[in-house]
Amino acid sequence: MDRPYIIINCAVSIDGKISLSDLRQIKISSEEDFERVYKLRDKCDAILVGIRTILNDNPKLTVKKRYLTQRKQPVRVILDSRCRTPKNSLVVDENAKTLIFTNQKCNKKFRNNVEIINCRRDKDGFLNLNFILNNLSTRGIKSLMVEGGGTVIWNFLRNGFVDDLYVYVGSIIIGGEKTPTLADGVGIKDFKNLIKFKLINFKRLGSGLLTHYQMIK
Ligand SMILES: NC(=O)c1ccc[n+]([C@@H]2O[C@H](COP(=O)([O-])OP(=O)(O)OC[C@H]3O[C@@H](n4cnc5c(N)ncnc54)[C@H](OP(=O)(O)O)[C@@H]3O)[C@@H](O)[C@H]2O)c1
């Protein structure tokens, strides 16, 4: 199967959480890490997130001028099986192209920079990642940055769709039994199926720690 090179990037607290316990967004990255993330975005052809990240955080998913004056905006990709992306969300503004993968007929009228692509579901009811990655490949997207949230990252990991995993560990604790983490979903029930990584590099970055892993396949 043809697929882009996949970089998963996520900022977590010391206890592995990625938002506040009520799902609200929280600043985990340091300024130095934001600069790294924007530069990484600029190097990728596309950035992908799940619909719950869009609904909770309303991200732009663009590269900010503050970090790069000469920048090409990557394509923004949303996994949204029920076409819930709001027409006024920042991710569909005219600053970049946006692809919304969905499983329902979507009657919303977006601007011309937004394309809706119909996609079948996998056996667990999620949009089929094989189809999506193959579709992105046929569009010439060679590198894809997956930014979350925890459900999307889990599904990429459990399917082995990762080449590089960057985790920035901010020096905070959030806590909460149900607070989203880097990888949510149903989890692994058998130690034989653990998803294993090799630590490639780590360094202090601002007030936190940047780690780089690659999956052991
Ligand atoms: N710290 C960070 O770096 C960071 C980055 C991003 C997000 N976040 C946080 O993450 C939280 C949201 O994470 P989340 O886990 O609740 O939601 P999410 O991963 O953003 O979105 C999950 C939703 O996407 C849709 N989806 C469709 N196909 C999918 C597939 N193949 N795999 C996975 N999802 C698919 C499903 O909704 P439908 O069934 O409606 O299609 C699913 O419920 C927010 O609190 C946000 O602040 C943190």
Residues 121-179 have pLDDT tens digits of: 999 999 999 999 999 999 999 999 999 999 999 999 999 999 999 999 999 999 999 99
Strand, helix or coil for residue 155: helix
Going by pLDDT thresholds of 50, 70 and 90, the confidence category of residue 67 is: confident
Whether residue 70 is predicted with pLDDT greater than 90 in this model: the reply is no
Residue with tokens 């052809």: 45
> Residue 68's pLDDT is what?
85
> Residue 111's pLDDT is what?
97
Average pLDDT, the chain: 96
Residue nearest to atom 48 of ligand 1 (CA): 18
Closest atom of ligand 1 to 56 CA is 44
> Residue 79's pLDDT is what?
98
Can you give the length of the chain in residues? 217
> Residue 66's pLDDT is what?
87
Going by pLDDT thresholds of 50, 70 and 90, the confidence category of residue 34 is: very high
The DSSP letter of residue 82 is T
Closest atom of ligand 1 to 57 CA is 47
> Residue 217's pLDDT is what?
85
Closest atom of ligand 1 to 127 CA is 28
List the strands of the sheet with 98-102, edge to edge. Answer: 114-118, 98-102, 75-79, 46-50, 143-148, 5-12, 164-169, 208-215, 197-205
> Where does residue 166 rank: exposed (0-12), middle (13-18), buried (19+ CB within 10 A)?
buried
- Using the Cα atoms of residue 68, residue 69, residue 72 and residue 75 in order, give the sign of their dihedral: positive
Alpha-carbon gap, residue 79 to 51, rounded angstroms: 6
Instruction: List ligand 1's pocket residues with C-beta within 6 A.
Output: 10-11, 18-19, 23, 25, 28, 49-53, 56-57, 79-82, 84, 126-127, 129, 147-152, 155, 180, 184
